[in-house]
Homo-oligomer: A and B are copies of this chain.
């Protein structure tokens, strides 16, 4: 029988191993699976490669994971924000690797990973430093750069509602990278604001079909990252 629901965030992330590559959803705070990330901090896996649009804010969530020195490398489009301090410091000291990827290329590389497409051509970044060393090719007179699929061992994603089959719906712009990341990881782990009965999600409105999800855990009152940052909270909790 299929039941992907697990009881706790620590159980949900328990098999994340040292050296794993992890897709982490979210665009800034919107969609960031803060509680799953904190569980990963508790777990302590190290040498991680993180794929995420940003590199965290303040000293909670993804920033706290980096601050805890669990992250070897980050693949992202925008690691710098007004309230990000952890990543910039480590980066300037040369203590964390950065692979900078245009946002649309990042999304498409992840989607390709989930869709069995090993590589594709895109016009983004052509003639810029981010295409240096990459293969280019002309189609119909326009130059494109070859980009490769980006898969992960795990995906940590936040959604609005889930059922025990792993069907997911999201909330507004918290959807962002979640659906493509769910498709592109060996093990997709989701925190949902609520678990609903099978059949309660309209089949026309399912955003992530359950086939892409391995585990779901209910986090009914997820933290708002920006509030934690404003309150200068720090994880592990200060």
| A residues with CB within 8 A of B | 108, 112, 115-123, 137, 139-140, 142, 144, 148, 169-172, 202, 204-205, 207
Contact = CB atoms under 8 A, between A and B. Distances in A.
A204 B170 CA distance: 8
Assembly stoichiometry (copies): 2
A171 B139 CA distance: 36
Contacts of A121: 117-120
Contact of A108 (B108, B117, B118, B148): B117
22 contacts: A108-B117, A112-B120, A116-B122, A116-B123, A117-B121, A118-B139, A118-B140, A118-B142, A118-B144, A119-B121, A119-B137, A119-B139, A119-B144, A120-B120, A120-B121, A139-B148, A169-B204, A170-B204, A172-B204, A202-B205, A204-B205, A204-B207
A201 to B, nearest CB: 11
Contacts of A142: 118
A194 to B, nearest CB: 15
Nearest to A170: B204
A128 to B, nearest CB: 17
A170 to B, nearest CB: 7
Given A204-B169, A205-B204, A108 B115 contact: yes
Contacts of A137: 119
Given A205-B202, A205-B205, A119 B120 contact: yes
Contacts of A169: 204
A148 B120 CA distance: 10
A118 B143 CA distance: 10
A102 to B, nearest CB: 13
